Structure 1
Amino acid sequence: MIRVATVDDIMEIENIYNEILDYEEQTVSYTNWQKGLYPTVDYAKSAIDNNTMFVGENEKGIYGCVVLNSIQPKEYDNISWVTKAQPSEIMVIHTLCIRPSESGKGKARIMMEFIEKYAKEQGYKVIRLDTYEGNIPAGTLYPKIGYIYVGTTKFHFQNVIWEDLKCFEKSL
């Protein structure tokens, strides 16, 4: 089940963020996220306050989370998007996270299916997202489920880290 997150979910969301960051410190960093910088509990609280944080859960509890809104980073202006749409017709996926212990079990695909259904129900015309160029799992998944790679652009992440992010979109 995937649902809008509530304030009661904040600890589990923070745990997911920390589990991912700890896992990446010990293995390989696919996200290029930085502990204490992004994602943070304040980021999650803000998304919950705006009803834009969603969680995926099963019998074991919350396994993933994602922020869905129409906020496009300014760097998106550098991309030649295939689908022309007004800002209000564009859903943007931010910070899709799957708990490391649930990784590789199709949970990201389940969440993406929900996102597409939800976006259609809400009247969006297109979904856009970006991922760190070194995020091989995400960069492999998105084309498999119909997202078109539209380009890579430099992001000045949190005004601290320069990184190249691959951008994808899917017309609905």
Structure 2
Amino acid sequence: MQLRLARMNDLQEIMAIFNAAIAYIGKQGSPQWQNGYGPQVEQIKQDINKQQLYVFVDELEKILAVAALVEGIDPVYTAIDGTWQGNEAYISIHRVAVSAETMGKGIAKLFLKHLVEQCQQLDYQDIRIDTHELNIGMQKVILANGFQYRGQVVFPIPFGERLAYQLYLG
């Protein structure tokens, strides 16, 4: 398995993973990504064009997981109800989804580990991520990769409250 930048010809496979993840999260009773507030085609195209969307592929190039590594200040993260450690430039991990076929097989944990390594290769010592409080599986994956809970942030959408985590290596 390897991490690589997403390409435009991956779009159909990526959107299938996001659509399945949106359905799965909804069945779990979480409002995260529901009612059109999940990853949309135009956003994913932008991520690909900005070279910030990554996919985790197997030896046959089948996409197992997808996420964006977004550099720069995230306005939502500036209004945390807790505190961030350090004040260096940081990178945020957003739009994380794992293919339905790989759920429960440890792929999410391994994928996040590879994303952290990529963030370090991009010279970031401060890595941030968030998830909804009802997304228990993602919370476990985040904590298993060494992130620490830092407080709550709120995205400007319905049910936009998210638990914010940080891996500070500085």
- TM-score of the two chains, using structure 1 as the length reference: 0.87
Once the two structures are TM-superposed, the CA of residue 34 in structure 1 deviates from its matched residue by 2.1
Which shifted more, 116-125 or 126-135?
116-125
1:144 pairs with 2:141: no
**Alignment check: 8 A CA contact 2:93 2:127 kept:** yes
1:163 corresponds in structure 2 to 160
Aligned to 2:20: 19
Corresponding residue SS for 1:56: strand
Q: CA deviation at 1:77?
A: 1.7
Cα displacement (A) at 1:29: 4.0
Write the letter of the residue equivalent to 1:166. Answer: L
Gaps of 5+ in 2: none
In 1, the alpha carbon distance for the partners of 2:121 and 2:22 equals 33
Q: Deviations 1:92-127 (Å, cap 9, x if unpaired)? A: 000110012211111111111111111111111210
- Tell me the residue number matched to 1:50: 50
Aligned to 2:66: 65
Partner letter of residue 110 of structure 1? L
Cα deviation for residue 30 of structure 1 reads: 4.5
Q: Which residue of 2 aligns with 1:83?
A: 85
1:14 to 1:67, Cα distance in 2 relative to 1, 3 A: same
Deviation for aligned residue 1:153: 2.8
Q: Which residue number in structure 2 is paired with residue 10 of structure 1?
A: 11
Is the Cα–Cα contact under 8 Å of residues 85 and 125 in structure 1 kept in the other structure?
no
Residues 60 and 4 of structure 1, relative CA distance in 2, 3 Å threshold: closer
The separation in 2 between residues aligned to 1:20 and 1:137, in whole angstroms, is: 12
Q: 8 Å contact 2:154–2:162 — kept in the other structure?
A: yes
Structure 2 match to 1:99: 99
> Where in structure 1 do 4 or more consecutive aligned residues deviate above 6 Å?
none
The alpha carbon displacement at 1:72 in A equals: 4.1
Unpaired segments ≥5 residues, structure 1 = none
In the alignment, residue 65 of structure 2 is paired with which amino acid? Answer: G
Q: Partners in 2 of 1:125 and 1:57 — Cα distance?
A: 25
C-alpha displacement at 1:143, in angstroms?
1.6
